[in-house]
Structure 1
Amino acid sequence: MKRILSYALVIVGILILLYPKANEWYENRQQDKLMATWDEASFDVSAEQQAQQQYEQLTDLFNEQSAATETPIQSPTEAATPEATPTEAPKAQKIAPIATIKIDKIKLKLPVVEGATQKNMKSATAHLKETTAIGKVGNTAIAGHRMRSKGRLFNRLGEVEVGDKIVVDTKDESFTYTVYKVSIVDPTDVSVLNYNNKDKLLTLITCDPIVNPTHRLIIHAKI
């Protein structure tokens, strides 16, 4: 009996060690599915206020992701403790991309989905839905997690420089933006969403630094 328990604890320990990589594989697979789906397939005062609220809520999303990557691994005995499980799993909602974003400088090509939620941002970048539509006059904001794994999501966004090109493809059109400014701001600085009535702006938002983020890395670009 003791030998069986020892084997069980060893197996549980191995599974715990493999979990981070398995989780990363799953999220990469979801990202690939979104890209496969893609391959197959007026900014008023009220909207501005909602966009600012979404921007402020990104702090919680970035902090949740950071905390998830820093959660200490349980010991096999702790992990073996049974927990209550729901009797019925919630029905998953399908996520469909509205565009793709490509930055050749950092070998990035990712799906863009509508709405900045933790679920959406696990495997894609997210358009803040109350900001300007892609390719239109105003300021289009797209947020993404800056994962610790090299090349995942916005991990390499810090390598982008003034003059670099960002291509955003929708189903109907392709838009090429040129980076004109890179800045690091406080999480409360919503001025990054400012716009005028003539320029077609793109704002990419992620956390900074990658580990224990305290600020936002902002890439400003325009057509």
Structure 2
Amino acid sequence: MKFKKYIYITLIVLGVLLVLYPIVHHFEHEQSSMQSTNDFQEYVQSIQDKDREQLAKEIEKYNQSTLNQSVSDPYSSGQEVYKINDRLAAHDVIGEIIIPKIQVKEPIYEGTSDTTLQKGIGHLSGTSFPSGGIGTHTMLAGHRGLPGAALFSRLNELEIGDTFSIYTVKGLHTYKVISIDTILPDAFQMEPLDANQDLATLVTCTPYMINSHRLLVTGTRVEENANVDIQRPLSIHWIVLASIGVLLVAGWILCWKIGCRRK
């Protein structure tokens, strides 16, 4: 009987650990993302006017260099990491994307290597820097279905007219969704730039967990909403409550199995 008790206890402990793993992993990702975006915001606020002007010039120079470049599927091969400015590159994060409808608030990194896309959203090299501007078109890629990190898992829920915002060294820019397309990876290409529009396209794999196609959600820049913000979907309070709930259920099962419940 004692041996059976130990088996029950071991199984319950393993079950609790399996349940808690994605919760803890999600919390770690949220904490890391929050720290990265907070550090980036502090950096942006610390930039002197003369340095900001220099950054703007270097971004414009980079955007000009992308005019005749082609782009490829970010999930088939990692994109080369570029460097706009030594000081900006030193911070790793180049921006932040906020999608209120699906509770996304994630840092944007350079390139789309697997390592980059495991921790946040990646900017596709060969497309405009995600700082906005008439005649630019940036593309940002994110994974779906990663354990503990939502990223672009719910991107398919966006509809025409929904909005998302991108925060960079040039401030906060808001975009309204104007098109949603599904394509094959080998059909991935950059559309000709529109000299009269400021566009941003969000890219992820689809269908969920099958990943045979690519979902492209494109927005055009609209008037900024200075108050745009969201609450992150899972806070430490929910983690604590979930953990307590799991442990209570596990404890009840344990007592029932080893005879705490007397007839």
TM-score bin, normalised by smaller chain: 0.5 to 0.7
Pairwise CA distance, 1:177: 1.0
After TM superposition, the structure 1 = structure 2 runs for residues 179-194 of structure 1, keeping only pairs within 5 Å, are 179-194=177-192
Distance 2:168 2:39 in 1: 13
Gaps of 5+ in 2: 44-62, 79-88, 222-263
CA distance in 2, matches of 1:60, 1:209: 19
Is 1:200 aligned to 2:198, yes or no?
Answer: yes
Query: Which residue number corresponds to residue 101 of structure 1?
Result: 97
Which amino acid is the alignment partner of residue 39 of structure 1?
Answer: Q
**SS in structure 1 of the partner of residue 112 of structure 2:** coil
Between stretches 96-105 and 39-48, larger displacement belongs to 39-48
Pairing of 1:45-84 with structure 2 (within 5 A): 48-49=69-70, 52=71, 55-59=72-76
- Cα distance, 1:47 vs. partner? 5.7
SS at match of 2:140: strand
Structure 2 counterpart of 1:185, which letter? I
**Structure 1 residue 115: Cα displacement:** 1.1
Q: Is the 8 A contact 1:178 1:222 kept in 2?
A: yes
Q: Are the aligned partners of 2:97 and 2:164 in contact in 1 as well (CA < 8 Å)?
A: yes
Q: Which digits, 9 at most, give the CA deviation of each residue in 1:118-171, with x for residues without a partner?
A: 122112111113211220222100000112569711111111011111111113
> Per-residue deviation at 1:220?
0.9
Aligned length: 182
- Residue 146 in structure 1 maps to residue 167 in structure 2: no
Alpha carbons of structure 1 residues 21 and 159: separation in structure 2 relative to 1, 3 Å: same
Q: Which moved more, 1:40-49 or 1:159-168?
A: 40-49
Which residue of structure 1 aligns with residue 260 of structure 2?
Answer: none
One-letter amino acid of the counterpart of residue 108, structure 1: V
Are the structure 2 counterparts of residues 145 and 94 from structure 1 closer, same or farther at C-alpha, using a change threshold of 3 Å?
farther
Cα offsets for 1:86-125 (capped at 9, x unmatched) = xxxxxxx986221111111212211111111112211211
The answer to which of 188-197 and 106-115 deviates more is 188-197
Q: TM-score, normalised by structure 2?
A: 0.59
1:35-54 equivalence runs, <5 A: 35-41=37-43, 42-44=63-65, 48-49=69-70, 52=71
Cα gap change, 1:139/1:118 in structure 2, threshold over 3 Å: closer, same or farther? Answer: same
After superposition, give the CA deviation of every residue in 1:165-220 in whole Å (9 maximum; x if it has no partner): 11111133211111101111111122354423332110100000111210011101
Amino acid across the alignment from 1:212: I
Matched, 1:121 2:113: no
Q: Counterparts of 1:122 and 1:167 in 2: how far apart (Å)?
A: 21
Contact 2:66 2:127 (8 Å CA) reproduced: no
What secondary structure, in the 3-state scheme, does the structure 2 residue paired with 1:58 have?
coil
What is the root-mean-square deviation of aligned Cα atoms in Å? 3.3
Q: C-alpha separation between the residues in 1 aligned to 2:148 and 2:21?
A: 18
In 2 relative to 1, CA 119–110 (structure 1 residues): closer, same or farther, beyond 3 Å? same
Letter in 2 for 1:33: Q
Pair member with larger Rg: 2
Q: Give TM-score scaled by structure 1 length.
A: 0.68
